[in-house]
Every structure is written in structure tokens, then in C-alpha cells.
Amino acid sequence: MMAKWCIPILLCALATSSRADEFKQDRLDQWPQWRGPNGDGTAPRGDPPVEWSESKNVRWKIELPGSGSATPVVWGEKIFVLTASDTGRKAEAKVEPAPAGAKEARSVAPTTIYKFEVLCLDRKTGKELWRRTAVEDVPHEGHHSTHGFASASPVTDGALLYSSFGSRGVFCYDLDGALKWKRDLGRMQIKMGFGEGSSPALHADSLVVNWDHEAGSFIACLDAKTGDEKWRTKREEGTTWTSPLVVERDGVAQVIVNGTNKTRSYDLAGGKLVWECGGQVMNPIAMPVLLEGTVYCMTGYRGFSVTAIRLDSKGDVTGNTRQVVWKRSDAAPYVASPLLSDGLLYLTKERQGILSCVDAKTGDLRYEGQRLPGIETVYASLTGAAGRLYIPGREGTTVVIQQGPTYKLLAANKLDEAIDASPVIIGKQLYLRGSKHLYCIASD
């Protein structure tokens, strides 16, 4: 017979489990982070249009202030967008010494004040609900000509919104725009002055921020409720633009972060290194993806590396053929993160509009070298819904591909501006952030 005192504990545990399950289900109808509810680019309940143009299936189109390539996030009826605007107001120039060994920047630092803003829009109409200026500042560095000052995507748990403007700080708001906390992690010195762009990752009460640059890289975990620092772990890396992926294995959360020197996994509870694997190439940007205990990491600048690593790894597994399930070096994305869906890994080559499909479990090619019509350059990450693959290009064309082991083009849809932010899919709506506007694509 069960002791009476056990019954309340059991009921509490069941209620907690039920709320957790409800939250997981609720997430599937949201887009809480830049790679979607599952962190892999898929919209499990999405079914947006296949075809659109400036005059077809555009429910609304609104001009955004400033600029940015941060992917919007969605919770309920609200869309959250980050942007940076040049106010034109002059400020006293800041002179900050470059770190020892840093190469000369190719970009020019601004001399005017920028306004870093968080926007909240109505999903149904695109109407602005609120706008908050996180900070006004003169950026101490410039950026690549195709980059900007608002490239890190926000993340939300449905109660709070976390926005990182990198060297300008990390800011936490509630969904009505009230500032809850802010945190300054210092100033980054980016290689060549090409700009910042790592998005934070959220897991329960932990917000993880990767801080790779030329003057002392680290990864930090902040308390999501207060902004207090829980831990900080040094990284033997120079500049990267990669974002962390938080995954669970046997109830233990790991933080997977790509790198030029090594891909690494950290224990979320304390920041201790769990495993590491070498063999990548330069300038990691693409975010890892996960399938059934295997994480897939890739880099595609001055060489190609796609590596499948088991989550149960320990220590340095470089060259370990048991823990490194497979590895390819024929094609990998430089900027765009891949899509992993139904056991197939879809990836572009370098920055080009060239698509390949790989069996995620074996590493075997299903097809390769498919040129995407109307697309020369891909920065936006790949997104999938309803058995289809959505790939925007910097020329304004988004191709729609049938998912599966055989290449099949469904449509090539042209808009009037470049698209660098990743697609967002909620139900029958597709949201595309262009260089000037945010589009809501819907057929009904």
C-alpha cells in the first residue's frame, strides 16, 4: 500500500510532468528561437504556401526601421524583431587598441550613434505593438559589407524575451516590453572587423552566450531570470560566428558549440568540458543539428567538413571511428545552417546556391550539386515544413524543394529584396525578413 504522504508528492510530480508536456506541445506552434521549436529548422505543424510573389500570397508587408539580419521569433500573436539604426548623431570617437596578434580590420568603425532596438509586431497585421531602445552607442568596430549590427537572433520561453546585441549587451524583456535585466559581457574584437553574430541559446533557467573573438574567447551561462553569471569557461578559439545548441542525453543537458580548432560539448550545469573533436575548417558559422544521440557539425570556408559525433563521447574523440560516426569533406555550408528532417541532412555548399542531401545515419549521399534556380548566394538557414524545404537567397528568390532522397524543385519565388534572415513558419504563415521589409506569406 502506498503511504499517504507519498500521494501528494506523486500528484505534484504528475502535475509538473503534465505542465512540462503541455509546454513542449505548445512550443510546436511557436517559433521561439531562430532555428525553430526543435532547434533543427523544422516546423512540425507548419504548412505554408508553395508559391508567392510581390503580388501573390502576401498577406502583409511592413517596412522595418534600421537594418539587421536577425531572424524574428514568434510567440502567440507577437513577432519580435531586432534592428540597429544609424541616428546620424555624431559622438566622440572611441580609440580602443587591437588585441595582440589581431589582423588589421577591413571594416571602418562608425563615428555616429546607433540605436539598438527590439520591436514587437502583431502577427495578424504586422502592426507595431511596442518598441524598446535597448541601448544607444557608437560601435567600436565596423562590419563586413554583407553583415550588420543586429545579426544575433532573440529567443523566448513564452514569458521572457532575450536579446543579444553582443558588445552592446544582453537584454531581457517580458513580452509586454518591460526590461527585466541587462548584462554587459565586454567588448569583442572580431577578426577583420567583420561584425558579431552569435545568437544566445535558452534551456530552462539557463541562457548560454558564446563569446568567440580575438581577445580571449569564452562561453558563459547566465541565470535566465536575473542575468547573473552562473559560470564561464575559457575557449581556445579565435573569432567564430556560431551559436550554441543545447541538447539532452539521459536527462543531462549538453551545450554543443562548433569551432575552428575543435567542436566542443560542455555540461550545462557547470560548464565543464564533456568532449571535443577536431577536424573542422575556418570561420564556423553554421549551427549544429541533432538526431537520435548524434550531433552533426559543419564548416565550409577554405575547405569542407561535415562530422557526425556521438553525444555519449568523452574527452577528445578526434579520429575515434567509434565516436565519430562519419565524416565528409566534399561540401559544407559556410553561413547557412543545414536542415535535418526524417533522417536526411540537407546542406548548401559554401555560400553558393548548390544543394546536397545526405543520409544522416550513414553519411551516404542521396544527391549532390543541385543548382538552385535564381540563387547565387545563400546566407539564410534552411527551413522545412510539410515535407518541403524552403531556401532563400540573397537575390530575393526562395526556392521550395520536395523533401526526400531525390531532388525535386517545386517553386522558385521572387521578392524585391535580399533575404539573409532565416524563414519563420507558423501554421500556414511564412515570415521572411528582407533587407528592408518583413513579409507575411499566406494563401488564406
100 falls in which pLDDT band (50, 70, 90)? low
Report residue 289 as a C-alpha cell. 543539428
Residue 162 has a pLDDT of 98
> Which residue, among 345, 305, 310, has the nearest Cα to 328 in the 3D structure?
305
Domains in the chain and their CATH numbers?
A: 25-441 (2.130.10.10)
Position 228 scores a pLDDT of: 98
Residue with cell 514587437: 120
Edge to edge, the sheet with strand 160-164 lists 155-156, 160-164, 170-174, 179-183
pLDDT of residue 149: 87
Look at residue 18 and tell me whether its pLDDT is greater than 90.
no
Name the band, by pLDDT with cuts 50, 70 and 90, for residue 410: very high
Q: Is the pLDDT of residue 23 over 60?
A: no
- Whether residue 5 has pLDDT greater than 60: no
Q: Which residues contact 270 (CB under 8 A, 6 or more apart)?
A: 231
Backbone angles phi, psi at 338, to 5 degrees: -80, 175
User: In 3D, which of 315, 350, 359 has the Cα closest to residue 329?
Assistant: 350
pLDDT mean across residues, the chain: 91
Confidence band for 384, pLDDT divided at 50, 70 and 90: very high
* The pLDDT of residue 269: 97
What is the C-alpha separation between 413 and 54, in angstroms, rounded? 9
Q: Could you give the percent of the chain with pLDDT greater than 70?
A: 91
Q: What count of other Cβ atoms lies within 10 Å of the Cβ of residue 83? A: 20
Average pLDDT over residues 66-93: 93
Query: Which range has the worst mean pLDDT, 7-11, 209-213, 379-383, 432-436?
Result: 7-11
Q: How far apart are the first and last CA of the chain?
A: 57
* 265/182 Cα distance (integer angstroms): 27
C-alpha 436/C-alpha 415 separation (Å) is 12
Alpha carbon distances (Å) from 187 to 190, 195, 196, 217: 10, 12, 11, 11
Confidence bin at 16 (pLDDT 50/70/90): very low
Kindly indicate the confidence band of residue 94, based on its pLDDT and cuts at 50, 70 and 90: low
CA distance 156 to 139: 26
Looking at the DSSP bridge assignments, the partners of residue 206 are 203, 223
pLDDT band at 230 (very low <50, low <70, confident <90, very high): very high
Burial class (CB in 10 A: 0-12, 13-18, 19+), 96: exposed
pLDDT band at 93 (very low <50, low <70, confident <90, very high): low
**How is residue 369 written as a grid cell?**
550539386
pLDDT of residue 7: 53
Nearest to 203 by CA among 247, 249, 251, 151: 247
pLDDT in tens, 117-131: 999 999 999 999 999
Alpha helix positions (H), 310-364: none
124 grid coordinates: 495578424
Q: Cell numbers of 433, please?
A: 525578413
What are the strands, taking DSSP E only, across 73-214?
Answer: 73-75, 78-90, 112-122, 128-137, 155-156, 160-164, 170-174, 179-183, 201-203, 206-211
Instruction: Tell whether the model's pLDDT for residue 10 goes beyond 50.
Output: no
Task: Look up residue 71 and give its DSSP letter.
Answer: P
pLDDT value at residue 145? 78
pLDDT of residue 97: 55
Cα-atom radius of gyration of the chain, to the nearest Å? 21
pTM over cut 0.85: yes
Of 348, 343, 341, which Cα lies nearest the Cα of 360? 343
pLDDT digits (tens, 9 = 90+) for 299-347: 999 999 999 999 999 999 999 999 999 999 999 999 999 999 999 999 9
Beta 409-414 vs 424-426: how paired, if at all? unpaired
**Per-residue pLDDT, 146:** 78
Segment among 189-198, 397-406, 427-436 with least mean pLDDT: 189-198
Over 90: is that where the pLDDT of 175 sits?
Answer: yes
pLDDT of residue 250: 87
pLDDT band at residue 4, thresholds of 50, 70 and 90? Answer: low
C-alpha 406/C-alpha 401 separation (Å) is 10
**19 falls in which pLDDT band (50, 70, 90)?**
very low
CA distance 375 to 354: 9
Q: Which residues contact 225 (CB under 8 A, 6 or more apart)?
A: 160, 180, 205
